[in-house]
Amino acid sequence: MDPSWATALAPVEPDIRKMGDFLRSQIESGHRVLPASKNIFRAFDQPLDSVKVLIVGQDPYPTPGNPIGLAFSVAPDAGIPASLNNIFKELGTDLGLPYPLDGDLTPWTRQGVMLLNRCLSVEAGRPASHRNKGWEPITDQAVRALDARIGKDGKPLPLVAILWGRQAQSLAPLLPHAAIIASPHPSPLSASRGFFGSRPFSRTNEALEKMGASPVDWRLPSKEDLPPVSDDPQF
């Protein structure tokens, strides 16, 4: 966790300690907790003031080997989950970008995109198993801290919040200074009801530019970036 986030989350330090106790008790009871402990707070690796886009997820993927501590993102060697597949389809439709090589969204975080799940852990094989266990006050504080940042000019720092689905959109009251890009969730159960065609990536960049911030380069590594394969065999 970046030191700036440690300061921002200081008001909920007791809650963080309680969640640490909860996770240890789960592991001691034989439950497998995801993601790996080193990745639970990975969404907070980038400095607080570097964040200009917030994307909110629900909880980590419950499949071992998939979650890496970033909402919607998976390990490079994992398959592409259905929701992420739909996100990539919309990315292509919206910006004309090629389909990515894998589901690792780490490059976005280096562009100032925070990929924050409402719950930062889950029991393997049991989706939503750690909801209402104590993560929500912690991630609520993170959202408040993002919205409360003030620049040297005395104005709120630029922030766009991409809120997919009702759970994410429930955070809107905590984001009075942010531009909100809202739509149905990219899950196959709801993507056809307004996620497809919502253009979240181009709309986010338009909003950032209106705020005087640089746009996000949403491109992820794709097959187009691989070196060409020579037809001339090497002996």
Q: Which two tokens stand for residue 224?
A: 């187009």
Can you list the alpha helix ranges (DSSP code H) found in 100-190? 106-109, 135-148, 166-169
Pairing of strands 33-34, 53-57: unpaired
Q: What's the pLDDT band for 227 if we cut at 50, 70, 90?
A: confident
Domains along the chain with CATH numbers: 3-211 (3.40.470.10)
Buried b (16+ CB within 10 A) or exposed e, 66-88: bbbbbbbbbbeebeebebbbbbb
The pLDDT tens digits of the residues spanning 121-133 come to 999 999 999 999 9
pLDDT above 90 for 223: no
Q: Which two tokens stand for residue 193?
A: 């009801």
> What pTM was computed for the model?
0.93
DSSP string, 175-190: -TTSEEEEE--SSTTT
Question: What is the pLDDT at residue 235?
Answer: 44
* 76: amino acid identity, one letter: P
pLDDT above 80 for 228: no
Active site residues: 59
pLDDT above 50 for 112: yes
- As a dihedral over the C-alpha atoms of residue 99, residue 101, residue 107, residue 112, rounded to 10 degrees, the angle is 20
CA–CA dist 134, 224 (Å, integer): 43
Pairing of strands 53-57, 113-117: parallel
The pLDDT tens digits of the residues spanning 39-64 come to 999 999 999 999 999 999 999 999 99
Q: What is the average pLDDT score of the chain? A: 94
